[in-house]
Amino acid sequence: MAIGIGVNAWVWTSPFGNGSLGLLDRAREMGFDTFEIPIEDPGTLDAARLKDAYARTGLRAVACGAFGPTRDLTHDEPEYRAEGLNYIRACLKLCAAIGAKVFAGPMYSAVGKRRHVPARQKKAEWKRAVKGIREAGKAASDAGVTLAVEPLNRFETDLINTCAQVATLLDDVASDSVRIHLDTFHANIEEKSIYDAVKTAGVRLAHVHACENDRGAPGSGHVDWAGLVRGLKEIGYAGDVVIESFTPECKVIAAAAAIWRPLAESQDALARDGLRFLRKLIGPDSGRRGA
């Protein structure tokens, strides 16, 4: 199977809602294979309309999560751990309804939670993450969806920054429904080698986010794209490579991702340039895939 090249709705908007469905048509016209929806509030999305939009465009459905302070599987307060798990379950229900087979993101903890903590507390938070993701993995299995767990850079979390760390987490979780999600932006900061990170993930790699070192269009900066693709081909990766970036026009998500200036002449140009680069880079191993 070929690698699918996709784009995340955050390139253009946040939050993605029922009024944003025209973005699927835009992505299809540009030539993307896959469209990724960020599920910021699952209760606001109409599953039937989303499913129809994917059917109309022929795009492959993928989803990612947004993990704010109260969606935290490692939190000291049980109510916030429960809220995090309930949010994941709601997202999985939506994924199953629209035909998305992967739900990705840093679901082990809240984004922006970075502190120096005693080893005892770190160990306790790790155990909570393992327990929560194991429970989420059961829900994912029931929904026919794969959880793809994403390491973040040191400025966004203190728990899991590298592929080796997330691989250890998966060893502890021990669920066939839980796999790995790598993001070139974070890997460019934290990994000694993006190629080695992909090889570490191996057959457990379920999803890839692609953007430059400055969150711009793939190919416009200094990320080791050749190493990424060499690793993907060597492990026989047949998932999606999705452009994830953000627009400074959406103030809340731009602040969360520290986007203080435009990263391209337009968001359409960012998407098109990134697609053109990835298509050429991946070559004959990229293209349309079945649902």
Q: What is the pLDDT of residues 50-84, one digit of tens each?
A: 999 999 999 999 999 999 999 999 999 999 999 99
Residue 99 pLDDT greater than 50, yes or no = yes
Q: CA nearest 105: which of 188, 38, 23, 172?
A: 38
State the number of CA atoms in the 13 A half-sphere of 215 facing the CB. Answer: 19
What's the pLDDT at 1? 62
95 domain-assigned: yes
291 domain-assigned: no
Residue 111 pLDDT greater than 60, yes or no = yes
Residue 256 pLDDT greater than 80, yes or no = no
290 domain-assigned: no
Residues forming beta bridges with residue 205, ordered by sequence position = 180
Give the amino acid at 105: G
Domain extent at residue 106: 4-285
110 domain-assigned: yes
Percentage with pLDDT > 70 across the chain: 98
Helix count and strand count (H, E) for the chain: 10, 8
200 domain-assigned: yes
69 domain-assigned: yes
Contacts 24+ apart (CB under 8 A), 164-170: 164/200, 167/200, 167/201, 167/204, 169/108, 169/126, 169/129, 169/130, 169/133, 170/204
Tell me the two tokens of residue 245. 């970036």
What's the pLDDT at 289? 53
* Catalytic (active site) residue 156: no
What secondary structure does DSSP assign to 107-167, as a single string? TTS-TTB-----HHHHHHHHHHHHHHHHHHHHHHHHHT-EEEE----TTTBSS--SHHHHH
Report how many domains make up the chain: 1
Tell me the two tokens of residue 273. 């340039």
State the number of CA atoms in the 13 A half-sphere of 36 facing the CB. Answer: 28
What's the pLDDT at 112? 94
Question: Of the listed 83, 150, 191, 212, which one is catalytic?
Answer: 150
Percentage with pLDDT > 90 across the chain: 90
What's the pLDDT at 116? 92
Whether 35 contacts 9, CB under 8 Å: yes
116 domain-assigned: yes
* Alpha-carbon span 106 to 150, nearest angstrom: 5
- Residues 6 or more apart whose Cβ sits within 8 Å of residue 82: none
What's the pLDDT at 262? 80
Residue 142 pLDDT greater than 80, yes or no = yes
Q: What is the chain's mean pLDDT, rounded?
A: 95
CA distances from 54 to 47, 59, 128, 150, 250 (A): 11, 5, 36, 25, 24
What's the pLDDT at 264? 85
207 domain-assigned: yes
CATH number of domain containing 219: 3.20.20.150
* Alpha-carbon span 63 to 80, nearest angstrom: 22
Task: Check: pTM over 0.85? Answer yes or no.
Answer: yes
